[in-house]
Amino acid sequence: MITITDDNFSSLNEFLDRKSFSKIFILVDENTHEYCLPVLLGNMETDLAFEILEIEAGEEMKNIQTANQLWEILTEMQADRKALVINLGGGVITDMGGFVASTYKRGIQFINIPTTLLSMCDAAIGGKTGIDLMHYKNMVGTFTFPEHIFVYPEFLETLPFKELRSGFAEMLKHGLIADKIHWEHLIRMQKLDAQAIIPHIKTSMDIKQDVVRQDFHEKNIRKTLNFGHTIGHAVESLYLNQKNPVLHGEAVAMGMITEAYLSFAEGLISAEDCDLIIGNIQKYYPYLDISDFSDDDIFDLLLNDKKNAGNTILFSLLSGIGACIFDHECSRKSISESLTFYRKLNDA
């Protein structure tokens, strides 16, 4: 399912050779068009015709209007049920391209070639597709696995540092929820760069895949992957709503700090573990200013979080470093305390 293709996409070529597609549609944004598409096209060996579909980069594009344009273009180009969509990009491309493919003519095949660390370790794997609606992330989508995921780590060399650090937040999360040794490898890195990170990507992907394999539709253990994402998603949405988006990993880092604090406040982890976790996240990530948002702004979004039902707000919280529980209900009071704790970090 996932192939790490450090040998110039030979496995992709074998895949294209083995399957009988009618045509290829490669979805890119202007960045992956410039930096990644030449690499892909330089290595791809196939007689199939292909078209390039380019969208503007950015989470703001991950909406129903863009999806609709893509459906219309596929229709105009007479893409049939044997067409293949190749999503070449970060999470916006793989989420949206997956949604468009999984619903066009009730589903055509697609593969993901993630180009960012975030999409390699998170968005491109796991079979969640989606678009944002109003100011809610991934409100509309499907559970559909790509036919295959080809990971070409060399793409990370061209990635800006902030993007790399954004993806690294998901790796830290994978360590925190499931694998203490992975976490320890990650926090002991001397320098946060592609060369240091690449050796650890496979472990991080395996953690996610293993969880997804156990619970595709997120009825139980898959919810642990939401650690850091409950408050993190809300803050990310609020920033997006202000037309001032932050990177996903920056919001998740903030979410992991507040939710580690919640884990401590709920008596699930020790003060020492909590300090250690928060200290290491702060080592990598700058403080994210949330002074524009009230607790109520955040509650409103938490209540519409996909994993919540009724008026309760459920969290995935740490029960140790490398262990996580889910469906833990927190009161508004505790959540407010964790936000107050976070606001004070700025004064420290």
Tokens of 4: 């790490």
Tokens of 338: 């964790």
Query: Which residue among 208, 236, 259, 280 is the active-site one?
Result: 208
Tokens of 317: 């919280």
The residue behind tokens 């008026």 is 311
| Alpha carbon distance 106, 81 (integer Å) | 9
- Specify the DSSP element, H or E, that contains 180: helix 180-187
Tokens of 196: 């240091």
The residue behind tokens 């892909």 is 40
Phi, psi of 327 (to 5 degrees): 55, 35
| Alpha carbon distance 119, 30 (integer Å) | 17
94 part of the interface to a second copy, by CB under 8 A: no
Binding residues for a second copy, rule CB under 8 A, total: 36
Residue 242 CB, shortest distance to a second copy, in Å, is 19
- 106 tagged catalytic: yes
Query: How many Cβ atoms from other residues are within 10 Å of residue 329's Cβ?
Result: 11
Residues forming beta bridges with residue 143, ordered by sequence position? 128
- 81 tagged catalytic: no
80 part of the interface to a second copy, by CB under 8 A: yes
- 188 tagged catalytic: no
- 259 tagged catalytic: no
Residues 112-171 that bind a second copy (CB under 8 A): 128-130, 133-134, 136, 138-143
| Alpha carbon distance 208, 64 (integer Å) | 28
Residue 76 CB, shortest distance to a second copy, in Å, is 8
- CB-nearer residue toward a second copy: 79 or 278: 79
Report the half-sphere exposure of 310 (CA within 13 A, side-chain side): 2
Query: Which residue among 62, 233, 259, 266 is the active-site one?
Result: 233
Phi, psi of 198 (to 5 degrees): -50, -45
Vertex 48, ends 46 and 49: CA angle to 5°? 130
Query: Which residue among 218, 236, 250, 266 is the active-site one?
Result: 218
Residues 299-318 that bind a second copy (CB under 8 A): 303-304, 306-310
Mark residues 14-33: x for contact with a second copy by CB under 8 A, - for none: --------x-----------
- 208 tagged catalytic: yes
Residue 38 CB, shortest distance to a second copy, in Å, is 29
47 part of the interface to a second copy, by CB under 8 A: no
- CB-nearer residue toward a second copy: 4 or 77: 77
- CB-nearer residue toward a second copy: 5 or 129: 129
- 14 tagged catalytic: no
- 226 tagged catalytic: yes
- 105 tagged catalytic: no
Residue 223 CB, shortest distance to a second copy, in Å, is 11
Phi, psi of 110 (to 5 degrees): -145, 155
Catalytic residue IDs: 106, 128, 170, 208, 218, 222, 226, 229, 233, 248
Which residues in this chain contact a second copy in the complex, by CB under 8 A?
A: 22, 64, 68, 71-72, 75, 78, 80-82, 102-107, 128-130, 133-134, 136, 138-143, 217, 303-304, 306-310
